[in-house]
């Protein structure tokens, strides 16, 4: 019940395409859903996050779509660029959960954007 399932494991798109990465969770107590971006040789960094009271959040070319009833959320990258090539991790947690609020990460998606 604590797992977050992420797919696909890897993804190759052409420049300008719209890669979509999907995540699913089981624990209905989760109320914070961030995405982290990791470039080669670097640690992951927060990209964008959503709370379950909204169905969509946009920040620049990155959009999170959230479907509470299906317990799924996804990341869309509009007009993707080679510089977006990275590994993306979804995560979920219970906000203000104290010792129970640790982020649960998906296994990651390696995205390659071809020029």
Partner 1 sequence: DVKVTQSSRYLVKRTGEKVFLECVQDMDHENMFWYRQDPGLGLRLIYFSYDVKMKEKGDIPEGYSVSREKKERFSLILESASTNQTSMYLCASSPSPYSGNTIYFGEGSWLTVV
Q: Please give the residue ranges that form the binding site for partner 1 (CB under 8 A).
A: 6, 9, 32, 34, 36, 41-46, 49, 89, 93, 95-99, 101-103, 105-108
Q: State the residue for tokens 């989760």.
A: 30
Is 17 or 72 the residue whose CB approaches partner 1 more closely?
72
Is 13 or 103 the residue whose CB approaches partner 1 more closely?
103
At 66 the three-state DSSP class reads strand
Q: Spell 101-115 as b/e; 16+ CB within 10 A means b.
A: eebebbebbebebee
Is 79 or 102 the residue whose CB approaches partner 1 more closely?
102
């Amino acid at each position: 019940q604590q797992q977050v399932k992420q797919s696909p494991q890897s993804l190759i798109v052409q420049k300008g395409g719209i890669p979509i990465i999907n995540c699913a969770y089981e624990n209905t107590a989760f109320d914070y859903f961030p995405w982290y971006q990791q470039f080669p040789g670097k640690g992951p960094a927060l990209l964008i996050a959503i709370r379950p009271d909204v169905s969509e959040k946009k920040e620049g070319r990155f959009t999170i779509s959230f479907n509470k009833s299906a317990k799924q959320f996804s990341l869309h990258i509009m007009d993707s660029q080679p510089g977006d090539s990275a590994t993306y991790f979804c995560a979920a947690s219970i906000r203000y959960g104290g010792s129970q609020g640790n982020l649960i990460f998906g296994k990651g998606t390696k995205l390659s954007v071809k020029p």
